[in-house]
Chain A
Amino acid sequence: MKTLSRVYMWVIFALLYAPILVLVIFSFNEGGSLSSYTGFSFRWYGELFRDSVALQSLKNSLFLAVSSAALATLIGTFAALGLDRMRNQYLKGTVNSVTNIPMMNPDIVTGVSMMLLFVAVAGILGISDILGRWTMLIAHTTFSLPYVILSVLPKFRQFDPSLREAAMDLGCTPAGAFFKVELPHVLPGVISGFIMGFTLSLDDFVISHFVSSPDFQTLPLYIYNQTAHNVKYSMYALCTLIIVTILALLLLVNFAGGIGDRSKRRKEATK
C-alpha cells in the first residue's frame, strides 16, 4: 500500500510537471525552438530584461493583483463580519448566494457581463474610454470577493463570543474589542483570502480579456496578444523565474513555519 501510494503520487506529479519542466529546460535553450535543444544559454533571460513592454505588463499584473486582492480583502473581511452578525437569515442567505455567483459562474460569463455593464454605463455617461485600469480593478476585486469571504467567514464563526464580552467587560469599546481581540483571531483567514485573491488575479486571462484596454495590459494579455506572430521565448524565461521565486517563497514560508512549530512543541514539552 505504501509503495503503491508513493508510486502513484510520483507518477501524477511527474505528469503534472512534465510540460513545466520542458518549459524550464527550453528557457535555457540557445536556439529559438521548443523541439530541438541546441545548447545552454541565458539568451532569453537577457532578452526578457530588455523587453520593456513585457516588464511593464508584469508590473501592471503585480500592481493589479496586489490592489485588487487588498481591496477585496478589505471589503470581504468586513462583509464576513457583517454576515456573521446578521440576524435576518433571509437576507443573509441572499447575500451569501449572490456573492458566490462569480465563483460558480464561468469566467467568460462574468467577463462578458462586466463588459456589457461598462459599455452600457459608458454609453449613458458619454465616456468614450471607460475600459482601463479601473474596470480591471473592479472586475478583479469582484471575482476575488467570494474567496475572501469564504476563507474569513469560518474564522468568525469559530470565534468564541465570550472572549469579546470579556474584552468589553474589561473596558474595551465594541470597536476596540473587534480590532484588538477578534481581528487578530481571524487574521490567518484574512491572509489566506488575500493570497487567494492575489493568485486568482495574477492568473486571470478570460475576464481581463473582456474588460481591459490596451493601455493597461497584464501579462496574460500580453502573451495572448503575441499569438498573431510568435510567442517569444523570453516568456518561458519569465515563467521559469516566476516558478523559481514562488517555489522559493513557499518553501521558505513552510520551512520557517516548521521551525516555529518545532519550537512551540519544545516549549510545550518543557512545561
Chain B
Amino acid sequence: MKRFITILLALSLLALCLPFLASCKKSGDTVTLYVYNWGEYISDGSEGSLDVNAAFEEWYEEEFGVKVEVNYSTFSSNEDMYAKMSSGASSYDIVVPSEYMIARMIEEGMLRKLNKDNIPNLQYIDMEMLFGSEAPFYDPENAYSVPYTYGTVGIIYNTTMVDEADLGSWDIMWNEKYEGNILQFNNSRDAFATALFKLGYDVNTKSEAEWREALALLMTQKPIVQGYVMDEIYNKMENGSAAIAPYYAGDFFTMYEDNEDLAFFYPKEGTNVFVDAMCIPASSQNPEIAERYIDFMLSEEAAIANAEYICYASPNKLVTQNADYRAAMEEIHPDAMEILYGTDELELQFYENLPNDQLMLLNELWEDLKIESSVSTSIIVMALVIVCGGVGAGVFFYVRNRRRRRFVDGLWSE
C-alpha cells in the first residue's frame, strides 16, 4: 500500500511537470505582447484603480478582433533592463527606459522607429512644454520614443527632525547635524548628481576633474550617511528611521500618505528632471500591436489611471487638464500639482547619455566610493581570532589523531 502511494506520488509529480511545458505553447489565435516596465509603474487594478493591461486586452479585441495577452514584467533600474537586453533576454515589444538610456539604446540600434499613424493620441503629448522643442534631446528625430511620465528629484525631509533654517539647498545632505540620518541614492548617476549640483557643475560635465571633485565630496559625505538606498527610502522615511533623503517627487506623495510629518523641497542650486518613455525594441515580434498599446496608454482613461496610481507628472494634456485628476492629486497633498507641474522656475537638468569613456570613469569612481568601507576593527580582530582558533584546533586534532593512530599501530605491531 505504502509503495503504491509513493509510486502514485512520483507519477503525479511528473504529471505536474507537464503544465510547464504546455504553458509555453500559446494557443494559435492569441497573440502575446511582452511589456517590460519599471516595478510598480502602472495602474494594476489594486485598491479600486483601473487594471490598464486588462483594459487594453479588452479594448484591442473589441477594436481589432484579435485576442491579445499582455505579458507584463518589471525591472528595478535602467541598468538592470539594459543588462537583460544586451545579454540576450527574450525579445519583448515595449520597454520604458529613461532618457539617457534611450539615447544609448538608439545609438546601439536596439530600438525601432515608431509608425505614428498607429498612435493618433500622440497629439496630446506636450513636447513643447517638456523640452522646449518639438523633439526630445535624447531622440532628436522624435522617432523612437513616446514620453510616459516625467519627474524631478527633490529632497524629502521629516519636519519633526529637521530645522527649518537648514532647508533650501543640497547642503543639507552634508550637514553634520544630521549625521546618521541622511540617505543617499544607491545608483551612481543620481548620487553623483547631488554632489555636482552642490558644486554648481553641469551634471553631464565632460571634465574629469569635476567628476573627481564630486567623488571627493561624496567621500566626505560617506561617514555621515546612514545608507545608500533606493526603495528602502519608503520604509525609512515613513517610520522616521531617517530624516533626509533625496528622491523622486512623485514618490514623496506615496510616503506622505503614510506619514504626514514628511515634507518636500527643491534645492535652489537646481535639480535633475527625468523622462521615462515607451519604446519598441528592434527585436519586437508585434510592433503594430505594441504601437496600439502605446496609443492606448495615452488615451484619457488609461493615462489618468496611471498618473493617479504612480503619482508622477504626466506629459499628457488629457491628464493635466482634467479637473478630476487635479482634485484627486490635491486630496493626496495640497501642494501636489504645484510640486509636480510648477517646476518652470527651477534650474532643471536632464541626464544625457555619457560617452563611453565618461561612463567608464563614472563606473570607476562609483566603485571607488562603494568599496571604500571602514569596517570596525572589532570585526577584523574577531575574524583574526576565529581564523587562528580554527586553524589551531584543526592542527591540534589532526596531530593528535595521527599520534594516536601511530600509537595504536605500534600496539598492533608488537
Write the residues of chain A forming the contact surface with B, with a CB cutoff of 8 angstroms.
31-36, 47, 50-53, 56, 63-64, 66-67, 69-71, 73-74, 115, 118-119, 122-123, 127-133, 137, 184, 187-188, 190-191, 194, 212-217, 222, 224-232, 234
Contact = CB atoms under 8 A, between A and B. Distances in A.
A229 B20 contact: no
Contact of A228 (B9, B231, B235, B257): B231
Contact of B88 (A128, A188, A215, A227): A128
SS class, residues of chain A in contact with chain B: helix
B72 interface: yes
B231 A213 contact: no
Nearest to B48: A50
B40 A36 contact: no
B251 A67 contact: no
10 contacts: A33-B238, A33-B258, A66-B17, A73-B13, A129-B88, A129-B89, A132-B89, A132-B90, A213-B84, A229-B231
B220 to A, nearest CB: 28
Interface stretch (B31-39, B208-216, B262-270): B31-39
Contacts of B235: 34-35
A230 B87 CA distance: 27
A121 to B, nearest CB: 10
Contacts of B40: 226, 228-230, 232
A17 to B, nearest CB: 21
B357 interface: no
B84 A33 contact: no
A217 B88 contact: no
A115 B254 CA distance: 37
B230 A216 contact: no
Interface size range of chain B in the complex? 35 or more
A123 B39 CA distance: 29
Interface of B: 3, 6-7, 9-10, 13-14, 16-17, 19-21, 23-24, 34, 36, 38-41, 44-47, 51, 53-54, 71-77, 80, 84, 87-92, 230-231, 234-235, 238-239, 251, 254, 257-258, 283
B38 A229 contact: yes
A213 B90 contact: yes
A214 B257 CA distance: 31
Contacts of B74: 53, 214, 217, 222, 225-226
Contacts, number: 156
B13 A194 contact: yes
Contacts of B77: 228
Given A51-B46, A67-B20, A225-B39, A191 B9 contact: yes
Contacts of A66: 13, 16-17, 20
Nearest to A132: B90
A230 B231 contact: yes
A35 B238 CA distance: 8
Nearest to A232: B40
Contacts of B239: 33-36
B73 A217 contact: yes
B75 A225 contact: yes
Given A70-B17, A71-B17, A50 B46 contact: yes
A229 B21 CA distance: 33
Contact of A53 (B3, B21, B72): B72
B310 to A, nearest CB: 8
Contacts of B230: 227-228
Contacts of A67: 17, 20-21
B158 to A, nearest CB: 13
Contact of A234 (B23, B46, B258): B46
Nearest to B254: A230
Instruction: State the 10 A-B residue pairs at the shortest beta-carbon distance, nearest first.
Output: A35-B239, A229-B40, A213-B89, A63-B20, A213-B90, A214-B73, A226-B39, A67-B20, A227-B231, A225-B74
